[in-house]
Amino acid sequence: MKKFEVKDLINIGIYTALHFLCIFLVAMLGFIPQAFIFAGIIEGFLGAIPVMIFLTKVKKFGMITIMGVLLGLITLLMGRPWPCVVIGLAAGLITDLIWMKADFSKIKFGPVCCGTMMLWSAGMGLPLFFGYRDSYLANLEEGYGKEYVEVIRSLTPDWMFIGMIVIAVVGGFLGGLFAKRILRKHFAKANLVE
Amino acid sequence: MITFSNINFQYKNNKTDKGNLIDINLTIEEGELIVLTGESGCGKTTFTRLINGLAPNYYPGTVTGELLLDGENIIGKSVAELGKSVGSVFQNPRSQFFNVDTDSELAFAAENIAMDPSEIIRRMDIVTEELDLKELRGRSIFELSGGEKQRIACGSVAVMFPKVIVLDEPSSNLDAESIEKLKCVLGKWKQQGKTIIIAEHRLFFLKDLADRLIVMKGGRIANVFNREEMNDLSSSLKEMGIRPLEEPGLCIKRSDDGIRDFIRINRLKYSYDRKTQALSVEDMLLPGKQVVAIVGNNGAGKSTFLKCMCGIYKTKKDSLTQNGKRWKRKQRSKDCYLVFQDVNHQLFTESVLDELIIGMDGSLSEEEKKKKALEILERFGIKNLAGNHPMALSGGQKQRVAIASSVAAGRDIILMDEPTSGMDELNMMRLSQELKRLKKAGKTVYVVTHDYEFINECCDSVIKLD
Amino acid sequence: MRKIDPRTKLLLLVVINVVMMTGKITGIFVPVRIVFALIPFFLMMRETWFRGSFIYFGLYLYVFLLERFTLQDIHPVLLIILLFTTGLLSRFLAGVMMAYYLMKTTTVSEFVTSMERMYVPKVIVIPFAVMFRFFPTLKEEWQDVKNAMKMRGIGLAGRNPLDVLEYVMVPILMSVSKIADELSAASMTKCLSVDGRRTHIAKIGFSFLDIILALCSAAGLFAHVFLGGVIGT
């Protein structure tokens, strides 16, 4: 494994900040239960753009994994249960492996990487599913009444967890395609990437 | 002592067969202050990068020859290692700080080499005293002005007590007052016997300090002038495309062009927060159909003035008239076009041609738009760039594209914020020509600047903002 | 005034978010929520940001009480719309304010120091610190781009949203990538390295107030876990 340089770490920090900000802004919208499918797509789409630019700077294995860990840590800071850090790490690692397979340069793998990177956002939705869900919903019921909870419950069966991930990944992939276009149209033309 | 012997350097991404530095042979004595100058792209920045190690360590490329710092070859030494004896100050205040507060930034380099904390604090106090940084201590970087940021950048370098300091166009984003302060800092350093290498376009503030002036051209050292020779230079500099060594006095030819009372400002006020008034103009007359320079001290709110005028900032209860008619904010934003100091943010399409087309009157057909855009580009002498990506252009070219796009958008009043900062003589002259042409075409140009040479070159009147 | 240790601030941020985002809104959790909403209020008052802290807390109380006591038993669709505004604020507001407080009152060097005290490796610390520094820069960038769009009269309305996205993102990304390059160069000349040992001048450490705040957090977490919260069940 090649050693990280200061530049690599600074790039990780900067693009993680940009990626997170894109997603955080849209995530606010996701509070409407019916909109969260929609929001998932947009989140992935927007978030993918900085990821794509970041990929062009990644020439070493491990950089994307660190990005995943950072995203997991931020999720933890946002009050999500601790497995979110593991999810972040896994998302980063998977993406890292794919990007390594692409020799850190084959841009056609970019959108796939943008997609898999979005797996970290599963940590964000964690409280809505599995063991967390029943107690979460029970809490909500006391507060908001049965009907509201029914809406949420019907929208979020456990398989929906998978659905949510798929949505975010698809959003990421589509965003990646868009970002690839931007990359070709602007960055390559302005000689900012090879 | 720094010795360049037969240094050649070429960046990896430079695909031409011409090197970025060619046959550099030079000895810089300890305690000397060397000024490097020359047109944009002449290699002076690369020169500084070799000394602090950024080239070839960070900006990859191939080097041949030897570069000795106190007898030791430093080519191939890591940047962090060199950082212990070579301090670097850069051009862009937005990107040279790792920290968000001034104290941390002052301590940063020393912390990185694991200096003892009590020693760091001792040195910080010394530097604060020497460079007069007291009022800047313990502040957020984001609330400092460009000049203040640059002083902190100098301070953070000084804490390492480096023997050598390189500065890459440190004055480009500074106003007159801040340049004066920068000059004081350089003077102090020189007194302390530090070796200083400074790459600059604007030379007037360095005249009293420089031991040698080195003019570079196409990657080579073209001329070396010592102190005595520098004094006889003033006339020949211009031919070399170098900014003057003396700051010229203001002398503009009174012209009868334009309209005396074009815009009248009865009231224009703006504040960023509740506490401080950033701008307050009452009763001011601006001439029209000519090139007007707006000068004023630091903190007079010149940039704010431009942003209020062109309607970017929402000003309440403003009262302006153009040709005697009320001139509301909405209308102002349709009539005015502001060229930012950092022009990068206002170019966002994929080609120069699109940049012009996007702002054009929507009623024209695509064909007409294209035709008109090409005409304008022709006029500005950049038709050959029509297909290029705006971000691939040089600073001066970007600026021209921005002006061209304002013309394309049919704006009659063009506002510019410090357009000549960081510009060499050649580009400055070109811009002056441009502005004179705009005037001939019946446009009005208001330009905030403190570049007297530029004002003398093309402005018809000067307004002082207090 | 003694500064609060960054580690305490981080802990508070986590607990506030846990309580606000995933906790109950009834029974004992009504006072618990209010206490945790009061923490950022109190910390901001301590920094003499009076105006901001009152606006924040007033707004919080308003949305929370509205959510808690008036919104029950109305039509679910209406409820959901109302919840979008009140619920969004009552969940995010306290955490956002706490995060704002954390960023505003913690210097990068204090932050780095406390991370290193927690034995976080440098490959995580440096990017984290850069993120921390970068949010305000992004805000400046965004403002510049917004001003440029406004000035060129390129509005959001009536255009293909993908085009708009491109116009906004391209200048930001270009500028960000330039900043990343220059910041790396500047940091390297300041001897920043990945493996070298560092010293710190930042003085961090726990005071009496830190202990109180930590106890509060512990109590909050305890209530959350054992009195019917989410984590750990």
Please write the tens of the pLDDT for every residue from B87-111. 999 988 778 999 989 999 999 999 9
Instruction: Specify which residues B270 forms β-bridges with.
Output: B279
Nearest to B19 by CA among B219, B216, B222: B219
Residues B270, B369 within the same domain: yes
Least confident of A146-160, B38-52, B333-347, C34-48: A146-160
Place C233 in a pLDDT band, splitting at 50, 70 and 90: very low
Q: Over the stretch C93-141, which tens digit does the pLDDT of each residue have?
A: 888 899 889 988 888 888 889 988 888 999 999 999 999 889 888 988 8
Which band of pLDDT confidence, cut at 50, 70 and 90, is reported for residue C58? very high
C87 with A136: Cβ contact below 8 A: no
Q: For residue A119, give how far its alpha carbon lies from the nearest alpha carbon of chain B (Å).
A: 30
Question: Final residue of a domain: which of B189, B211, B239?
Answer: B239
Contact: B359, C154; criterion CB under 8 Å: yes
Q: Which two tokens stand for residue A29?
A: 């919208």
C179–B95 C-beta distance less than 8 A? yes
User: How far apart are alpha carbons A117 and A47 in whole angstroms?
Assistant: 9
Instruction: Tell me the pLDDT tens digit for each residue of A55-104.
Output: 999 999 999 999 999 999 998 888 777 888 999 999 999 999 999 999 99
Interchain pair B120, C152: CB under 8 A: no
Side by side, which strands form the sheet with B21-28? B21-28, B2-11, B61-69, B72-73
The CATH number for B88's domain is 3.40.50.300
Based on the domain organization, do B266 and B224 belong to the same domain? Answer: no
Inter-chain touch A73–C128, beta carbons under 8 Å: yes
More confident residue, B20 or B260: B20
Q: Let me know: does A98 contact A112? Beta carbons within 8 Å.
A: yes
| Cβ-defined contact of C129 to A13 (cutoff 8 Å) | yes
Mean pLDDT of B146-166: 94
Mean pLDDT (whole number) for A45-54: 94
Is the residue at B357 inside a domain?
yes
Q: Are B88 and B154 in contact (CB under 8 A)?
A: no
| B230 and B270 together in one domain | no
Of A115, B150, B424, B340, nearest in space to C144 by CA: B340
Q: Which residues contact B298 (CB under 8 A, 6 or more apart)?
A: B145, B147, B175, B176, B177, B178
| Residue that wins the pLDDT comparison between B263 and B231 | B263
pLDDT for B271 equals: 84
Hey, where are the domains in chain C? 6-107+203-226, 121-189
Helix (H, G, I), strand (E, B) or coil at C233: coil
Residue B177 lies in a domain: yes
Identity of the residue in C130, C132, C154 whose CB atom sits nearest the CB atom of B358 = C154
State residue B251 phi and psi, 5-degree precision.
-145, 105
Say how many domains are in chain B: 2
Mean local confidence (pLDDT), B395-402:
86
Three-class secondary structure assignment of chain B: CEEEEEEEEEECCCCCCCCCEEEEEEEECCCCEEEEECCCCCCHHHHHHHHHCHHHHCCCEEEEEEEEECCEECCCCCHHHHCCCEEEECCCCCCCCCCCEHHHHHHHHHHHCCCCHHHHHHHHHHHHHHCCCHHHCCCEHHHCCHHHHHHHHHHHHHCCCCCEEEEECCCCCCCHHHHHHHHHHHHHHHHCCCEEEEECCCCHHHCCCCCEEEEEECCEEEEEEEHHHHHCCHHHHHHCCCCCCCCCCCCCCCCCCCEEEEEEEEEEEECCCCCCCCEEEEEEEEEECCEEEEECCCCCCHHHHHHHHCCCCCCCCCEEEECCEECCHHHHHHHEEEECCCHHHHCCCCCHHHHHHCCCCCCCCHHHHHHHHHHHHHHCCCHHHCCCCHHHCCHHHHHHHHHHHHHHCCCCEEEEECCCCCCCHHHHHHHHHHHHHHHHCCCEEEEECCCHHHHHHHCCEEEECC
Give B390's contacts in chain A (Cβ within 8 Å): 190
Contact (CB<8Å) B350/A7: no
Q: For chain A, give the mean pLDDT.
A: 84
Which of B28-32, B134-138, B436-440 has the least mean pLDDT?
B436-440
pLDDT > 70 fraction of chain C, expressed in percent and rounded: 85
- One DSSP character per residue, C155-203 reads -STTS-HHHHHHHHHHHHHHHHHHHHHHHHHHHHHTT--SSS-------
Quick one: B13 and B136 in the same domain?
yes
Cα end-to-end distance, chain A, whole Å: 23
Give contacts of A32 with chain C, Cβ < 8 Å.
80, 84
Of B103, B120, B337, the CB nearest to C151: B337
Specify the higher pLDDT residue, C80 or C217. C217
Residues of C in contact with B307 (CB under 8 A): 147
Q: Is the pLDDT of residue C67 over 80?
A: no
Looking at the fold, whether B232 and B265 belong to one and the same domain comes out as: no
Query: Which range, B190-194, B237-241, B324-328, B450-454, has the best average confidence (pLDDT)?
Result: B190-194
Q: State how far the alpha carbon of B445 is from the alpha carbons of B261, B338, C154, C175, in Å.
A: 14, 10, 22, 28
Domain that holds residue B184: 2-239
Residue A190's closest chain B neighbor by CA? B392
Nearest to C199 among B88, B114, B347 (CB): B114
| C-beta separation of A161 from A129 below 8 A | yes
Q: Average pLDDT in the B240-263 region?
A: 76
Cα dist. C218→C14, C21, C151, C221, C225 in Å?
A: 11, 17, 51, 5, 10
Burial grade of B436 (CB within 10 A; 0-12, 13-18, 19 or more): middle
B224 against B234, higher pLDDT: B224
From A21-35, B136-150, C95-109, the region with the lowest mean pLDDT: A21-35
Q: Is B250 a member of any domain? A: no
Q: Is residue B246 part of a domain?
A: no
Chain A residue nearest residue B54, CA to CA: A7
Answer whether B272 touches A (CB < 8 Å).
no
Tell me the residues of chain B between 370 and 399 that have a Cβ less than 8 Å away from chain A.
Answer: 388-392
Residues B292 and B232 in one domain: no
**Closest Cα to residue B85, out of C183, C192, C189?**
C189
Residue A128's pLDDT is what? 66
**Amino acid at position C160, single letter:** N
Please tell me which chains touch B, using 3 or more CB pairs under 8 Å as the contact test.
Answer: A, C
A to B CB pairs, distance under 8 Å = 18
Nearest Cα neighbor of B86 from B164, B4, B199, B170 is B164
Spatial contact of A64 and A40, defined as CB atoms under 8 Å apart: no
Nearest CA in chain A to B392: A190
Q: Give domain status of residue B147, yes or no.
A: yes
User: Distance (Å) from the C-alpha of residue C137 to the closest C-alpha of chain A?
Assistant: 10
Is the pLDDT score of B362 beyond 80? no
Query: pLDDT-derived band of residue A37, with 50, 70 and 90 as boundaries?
Result: low
Nearest to A189 among B13, B80, B389 (CB): B389
CB contact under 8 A, C194 and A70: no
Partner B, chain C 78-97, Cβ-Cβ below 8 Å: none
Inspect the interface and report whether the beta carbons of B80 and C132 lie closer than 8 Å.
no
- Find the CB nearest A77 among C17, C130, C169: C17
Q: Is the pLDDT of residue B24 over 60?
A: yes
Nearest to C109 by CA among C127, C138, C129, C136: C129
Look at C230 and A135 and tell me if their CB atoms are within 8 Å: yes
B230 and B280 co-located in one domain = no
Q: Nearest CA of chain B to the CA of C72: how many Å? A: 40
3-state secondary structure (DSSP) of residue A190: coil
Q: Please tell me the predicted confidence (pLDDT) of residue B239.
A: 73
Q: How many other CB atoms are there within 10 angstroms of residue A116's CB atom?
A: 26
Question: In the predicted model, is pLDDT for residue B174 greater than 70?
Answer: yes
User: Is the residue at B57 inside a domain?
Assistant: yes
Q: Does the pLDDT value for residue C232 go beyond 50? A: no
Closest Cα partner for B358 from C161, C163, A190, C165? C163
Upper half-sphere CA count for residue B275 (Cβ side, 13 Å)? 1
Q: Which residues in chain A have Cβ-Cβ distances shorter than 8 Å to C184?
A: 6-7, 10-11
From the list B417, B392, B390, B391, the residue with the least C-alpha distance to B404 is B390
Distance in angstroms (rounded) separating the CA atoms of residues C158 and B219: 50
Of all residues in chain B, what percent carry a pLDDT higher than 90?
41
B223 vs B237: which has the higher pLDDT: B223
Q: How confident is the model at residue C152 (pLDDT cuts 50, 70, 90)?
A: confident
Poorest-confidence range of A70-84, B67-81, B312-326, C67-81?
C67-81
Task: Give percent of chain B above pLDDT 70.
Answer: 98
Question: Residue B248: inside a domain, yes or no?
Answer: no
Nearest-CB residue to A186 (from B13, B80, B389):
B389
Q: Looking at per-residue confidence, does A10 or B465 come out higher? A: A10
Q: Indicate which of B94, B350, B388 best probes the interface with A, i.e. most A CBs within 10 Å of its own CB.
A: B350
Q: How many helices (H) and strands (E) does chain A have?
A: 9, 0
For position C77, what pLDDT does the model report?
A: 67
Task: List Cβ neighbours of A9 (8 Å cut-off, separation of 6 or more).
Answer: A66, C122, C123, C126, C127, C130, C194
Indicate the pLDDT class of residue A187, thresholds 50, 70 and 90.
confident
Q: How many other β-carbons are positioned within 10 Å of the β-carbon of residue A146?
A: 12
pLDDT > 70? residue C143:
yes
Statement: residue B361 has pLDDT above 90? no
How does the average pLDDT of chain C come out, rounded? Answer: 84
Mean pLDDT of chain B: 88
| CB proximity under 8 Å: C 51-70 to A | 67-68
pTM here is 0.89
What ipTM describes this predicted complex? 0.89
Q: Which residues of C touch A58 (CB under 8 A)?
A: none
pLDDT for residue C145: 87
Task: List the 197-226 stretch of C: residues with Cβ below 8 A of A.
Answer: none
Q: Are strands B220-226 and B212-217 parallel, antiparallel or unpaired?
A: antiparallel
Alpha-carbon distance of A47 to A168, in angstroms, equals: 10
Contacts of B15 (CB under 8 A, 6+ apart): none
Predicted confidence (pLDDT) per residue in A112-122, tens digit:
999 999 999 88
Q: Where are the alpha helices (DSSP H) in C47-160?
A: 50-65, 76-105, 108-117, 122-151
Residue B141 has pLDDT above 70, yes or no: yes
> Sorting pLDDT into bands at 50, 70 and 90, what band is C76?
low
**Contact: A189, B58; criterion CB under 8 Å:** no
Tell me the CB-side half-sphere exposure of residue C202, using CA atoms within 13 A. Answer: 28
